[in-house]
Structures are given as C-alpha cells and as structure tokens.
C-alpha cells in the first residue's frame, strides 16, 4: 500500500503548477524585476506560515487568469503546500534590508503584493488588492474595470 501511494505521489509531482525553480531574492532583485517586466505581473510576497496567502493567490489566479504571478518566500521554512507561481524566489540576505528595497513602508506582513507594470511605479497591497488597485490593473491592461 505504501509503495502504491508513494508511486502515485511521485507520478503526480511533475504535474503540479508550482514546479518553478527557486531563485535567490537579493537587495537588487526587485529593481531588476521592475525593469524586466513586459506585462502587468503580480509579485506576491508570502511566508511558509502565512494562513491567508493561499486564498489570496487563488483569488488573483481566478480574477486575472493568464496574468503572470510570481512568488517570493520571505522565510526559510519548508512549504507544506507550495503555491502555484510561474517564477519563485526566496529571500537571501538580511530580511529588513530586502523589505526596504521593495518598499520602505512594508512591515514584513504577508501576503504583500506588488503589481509590477512596465514603465510605471509598482502598486502595493497588503492582502487582497483594493478596488482602486484592481481598476489601475484593468487600465494598465487596456480593459474596462469590472464593478
């Protein structure tokens, strides 16, 4: 029975949507990502202990299907239920300095979201984005905002 369960799990792992390799998130990474982004992209800062992060990620996926979602883990804990993301990073270095490089006003609470937009300043949200932030996203994508 254990072998069958192990085999079933092993066969299922390659199909998980969160198989992106983890990269190091250093002090310059956020600025580099802002310069590289080609389309509006959610950058979600999460932690392995974050209870609200899965629901926020699922909501972003549902509301903005097809829009890139990138994930940054802010701690070194082991993910028991990895969140789906096209790209993944993990903080490497002094946490306070890394948070300051993202947004000096960020207190380290997760989920913390940055909406990266080509040629524009990022929008930040703590938890689920506000209607104003969602309207800014729709404007950036050239679609009417939903009510």
The structural domain count of the chain equals 1
Q: Length of the chain, please?
A: 147
Residue 81 has pLDDT above 50, yes or no: yes
Kindly state whether residue 147 falls inside one of the protein's structural domains. Answer: no
Residue 1 has pLDDT above 70, yes or no: no
Residue 8 has pLDDT above 70, yes or no: no
Enclosing domain of residue 77: 27-141
Share of the chain above pLDDT 90, in %: 63
Kindly state whether residue 53 falls inside one of the protein's structural domains. Answer: yes
* HEC secondary structure over 7-52: HHHHHHHHHCCCCCCEEEECCCHHHHHHHHCCCCEEEEEECCCCCC
Q: What is the pLDDT of residue 19?
A: 42
Residue 117 has pLDDT above 90, yes or no: yes
Q: For the CA atoms of 95, 99, 101, 103, what is the dihedral angle to 10 degrees?
A: -170
Q: What is the pLDDT of residue 18?
A: 41
CATH number at residue 95: 3.40.30.10
Cβ atoms of 72 and 44 within 8 Å: the answer is yes
Q: What is the pLDDT of residue 79?
A: 87
Q: pTM of the full predicted structure? A: 0.78
């Amino acid at each position: 029975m254990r072998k069958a369960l192990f085999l079933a799990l092993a066969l299922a792992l390659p199909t998980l949507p969160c198989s992106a390799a983890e990269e190091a998130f250093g002090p310059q990474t956020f600025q580099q990502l802002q310069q590289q982004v080609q389309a509006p992209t959610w950058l979600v800062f999460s932690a392995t202990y974050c209870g609200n992060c899965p629901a926020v990620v699922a909501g972003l996926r549902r509301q903005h299907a097809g829009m890139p979602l990138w994930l940054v883990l802010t701690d070194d804990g082991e993910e028991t239920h990895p969140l789906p993301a096209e790209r993944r990073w993990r903080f490497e270095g002094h946490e306070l300095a890394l948070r300051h490089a993202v947004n000096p006003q960020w207190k380290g609470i997760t989920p913390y979201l940055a909406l990266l937009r080509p040629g524009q300043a990022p929008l930040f949200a703590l938890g689920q984005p506000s209607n104003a932030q969602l309207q800014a996203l729709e404007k950036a994508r050239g679609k009417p905002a939903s009510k």
